[in-house]
Amino acid sequence: MIDMKLDQDHNLREGVQDLLTYCGQTHKGTKKTPERFVNALRELLSGYDVDPKRILTTTFDDTNDLVCLTDIPFFSLCEHHLLPIQGVVHIAYLPHDRVVGLSKLPRLVQALSRRLIIQERFTSQIAEILMKTLRPKGVYVIVEAEHMCMQMRGVRSEGKMKTSALRGIFMNEAPRMEALKIMFH
């Protein structure tokens, strides 16, 4: 969990209580809200305590076939407004001499999404960590997400943001198109 000292917890609880008072919400139902908020925040930001590179334990293998995992769900908080982001991540990689256990890809996504993010950086971070750890011929990451900061405030519009990160062989059109075909068909 995120390393919060007791005095920081106390200050955060007081801040939440001040917010509740500001909103006129000081009734019985909100009595435990400050403590609940601190606990929820610890869970939502638990990715800071995880080294994403340590998640990706690799196995040496001589496969050269495309590996894809799609629709990996994630939830996060926008670093600009602290409002929720939710979406899915699609990952394709072309191994060189290493593969990773299938469950490691969602664990990587979860670790990185349990931090304050902007989607563009989040997408690139996934690709970079996979490239450095697996040393594949290429990585292709696509992230599709809904941002509550756009839907709940400001423009108040719905829509999905889509970002992608291409590394290695996927910079070339033919491998990129093959990966897209497998990921979305």
**Same domain membership, residue 95 and residue 58:** yes
Q: Is 78 a catalytic residue?
A: yes
**Same domain membership, residue 99 and residue 158:** yes
**Same domain membership, residue 146 and residue 83:** yes
Note whether 49 and 116 are within 8 A (CB): no
Tens of pLDDT, residue by residue over 56-86, are 887 777 788 999 999 999 999 999 999 999 9
* Average pLDDT estimate for 155-162: 90
**Same domain membership, residue 61 and residue 96:** yes
Tens of pLDDT, residue by residue over 1-39, are 455 566 788 899 999 999 999 999 989 999 999 999 999
How far, CA to CA in Å, does 142 sit from each of 45, 93, 178?
22, 12, 14
Q: Is 185 a catalytic residue?
A: no
Q: H or E stretch including 104?
A: helix 104-113
Q: Is 119 a catalytic residue?
A: yes
**Same domain membership, residue 23 and residue 69:** no
Domain count, the chain: 2
Residue 38 lies in a domain: yes
What CATH number is attached to the domain comprising 154? 3.30.1130.10
Domain of 171 in residue numbering reads as 52-184
Residues 117 and 114: their CA atoms lie apart, in Å, by 8
Q: Is 81 a catalytic residue?
A: yes
Residue among 68, 90, 110, 147 flagged as catalytic? 147
Q: Which amino acid is at 14?
A: E
pLDDT for 50 beyond 70: yes
Q: Is 144 a catalytic residue?
A: no
Tens of pLDDT, residue by residue over 96-134, are 988 998 899 999 999 999 999 999 999 999 999 999 999
What three-state secondary structure class fits 91? strand
Residue 116 contacts by C-beta under 8 Å, 6 or more apart in sequence? 45, 76, 77, 78, 79, 82
pLDDT at 1: 47
